């Protein structure tokens, strides 16, 4: 039977008031709640900003996937500043460039295209989550 590693930390940007930030958050929820529950853990960026020890421990103890809504890369920066290791940085804009028909609109409620873009992003990250949680992953002490 295959053994799996503890969860992967999913750290989406806060991006309040920005549609790409809303896409980042929705993609995080899709990964944690629907696509890879039990293998992923959502870590709120705001808690890292505030220095919350539980959030800092969460990113120090597991590989992190960060999802940033803009070029500032706040999620990736804060994970590193908290002592964590970023396994992959994702920029919503890069995913949007590959899927230009999925133009996100809205901040509190994404339009259907924005929700589809978030789901597409989350689905693109599922193989990485599987790799990072695999018993054969270097993250698990195996080469």
Tens-place pLDDT, residues 60-109: 999 999 999 988 899 999 999 999 999 999 999 999 999 999 999 988 88
pTM of the model: 0.89
> Which residues of the chain form beta strands (DSSP E)?
8-12, 40-42, 64-68, 86-91
CB atoms within 10 A of CB 135: 12
* pLDDT exceeds 80 at position 141: no
Tens-place pLDDT, residues 16-47: 789 999 999 999 999 999 999 999 999 999 99
Tens-place pLDDT, residues 53-70: 999 999 999 999 999 998
103: domain range?
8-134
Whichever domain contains 77, its CATH number is: 3.40.50
Answer yes or no: are the C-beta atoms of 32 and 43 closer than 8 Å: no
Residue 2 lies in a domain: no
């Amino acid at each position: 039977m295959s053994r799996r590693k503890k969860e992967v930390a999913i750290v989406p940007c806060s991006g309040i008031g920005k549609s790409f930030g809303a896409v980042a958050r929705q993609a995080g929820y899709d990964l944690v709640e629907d696509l890879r529950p039990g293998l992923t853990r959502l870590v709120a960026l705001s808690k890292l900003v505030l220095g919350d020890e539980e959030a800092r421990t969460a990113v120090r103890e597991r590989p992190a996937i960060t999802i940033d809504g803009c070029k500032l890369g706040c999620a990736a920066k804060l994970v590193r500043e908290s002592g964590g290791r970023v396994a992959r940085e994702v920029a919503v804009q890069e995913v949007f460039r590959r899927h230009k028909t999925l133009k996100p609109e809205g901040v509190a409620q994404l339009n259907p295209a924005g929700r589809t873009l978030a789901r597409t992003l989350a689905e693109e990250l599922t193989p990485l989550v599987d790799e990072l949680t695999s018993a054969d992953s270097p993250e698990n002490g195996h080469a």
